[in-house]
Amino acid sequence: MPFDATGKVSLDHLYVQDDPRAYFGALRELDYCIPQLAKPYFAKLVQDHREARHLGEGERPTVLDVGCSYGVNAALLGCDASIDELYERYGDADAAGLTRDALLARDRAFVRSRSPLDAPRFVGLDASAPALAYACEAGLLHDAVHADLEHDDPTAAERAVLGRADLVVSTGCLGYVTERTIRRVAEAATDRLPWMAHFVLRMFPYAPAAESLHELGYETVHVEGVFRQRRFASAEEQALVLDSLSSVGLDPDGLESDGWLYAQLHISLPTDTKDREGTG
């Protein structure tokens, strides 16, 4: 199994399938759980945003998920699903025998039955066209941007979609994308700067993103504690990641040394006091 430059096993092949069955099957084996751990923090941020913006009944904030893949965070937040529920949905015998069209029909029914009227709208940003296409067709994403903002400015059409975001979240893509992508997302805002919450693996510093966002009018809070992302795929992956942690001066004892990748949560909010009211 190939490894990337950080020592993590490359799972790129999972993100380019026409449907998410292989993705969920492989990540279930690794006990991938960061979206579940992120869910209450994202939900609180959405609620805090509603209160700060005085949103009324039926008004729906827009959440941009950076590195959204097949819309996992949208399913957890918008449909109040759990990651274990998704593992069962895409890994059971019924799912295995379905065509892509039949799987999509089943997912559309699921989204319709589980999405409250005031659920946030979800927009996905990802480099995988197949993952975005599936999530949009299933109804998990309301819109999507297929772009590489590490190397390119968004087009006018892409800026229009990105600029509607009220909140920006991610669960693991930072480190693969950098402050360049995050800044371009923030700069697309046409009215108010979006609130942001990013779960970032410990080996990847958030400081460059925080500093870049500070220039635009953000203040960043680093939430206390660490969050399990997934188990290591192999002893070799663990050894390589431990080397990466050592190279940036981080102690893995009691964390990555015990067999799990760990992330930290960073919340970046506009410095305007009204924009920050109710958060914490």
- pLDDT of amino acid 8: 74
- Chain-wide mean pLDDT for the chain? 93
Rounded to whole angstroms, the Cα distance separating 144 from 155 reads: 13
135-140 mean pLDDT: 98
Phi first, then psi, for residue 19 (nearest 5°) are -150, 170
What confidence tens digit (pLDDT) does each residue in 54-93 have? 887 778 999 999 999 999 999 999 999 999 999 999 999 9
- Assess contact for 152 and 160: CB atoms under 8 A: no
Question: CB atoms < 10 A from the CB of 172, how many?
Answer: 22
E strand or H helix that includes residue 182: helix 179-187
Q: Which CATH architecture does the domain made up of 12-276 adopt? A: 3-Layer(aba) Sandwich (3.40)
> To the nearest 10°, the Cα dihedral for 55, 56, 60, 64?
10
pLDDT confidence bin for 277, thresholds 50/70/90: very low
In the chain, the N- to C-terminal Cα span, in Å, equals 41
**The tokens 């923030």 sit on which residue?**
186
Amino acid at 95: A
**How would residue 5 be classed by pLDDT, with cut points 50, 70 and 90?**
low
- For residue 18, give every residue at least 6 positions away whose Cβ sits within 8 Å of its Cβ, in sequence order, or none: 100, 130, 134
Closest CA to 68 of 15, 121, 11, 31: 15
User: At residue 279, does pLDDT exceed 70?
Assistant: no
In whole angstroms, give the CA distance from residue 119 to residue 78.
Answer: 5
pTM of the full predicted structure?
Answer: 0.94
Confidence of residue 118 (pLDDT cuts 50, 70, 90): confident
CA-to-CA distance for 203 and 53, rounded, in angstroms? 35
Residue 106 host element (H or E): helix 100-114
d(CA 16, CA 19): 8
Does residue 1 or residue 192 have the better pLDDT?
192
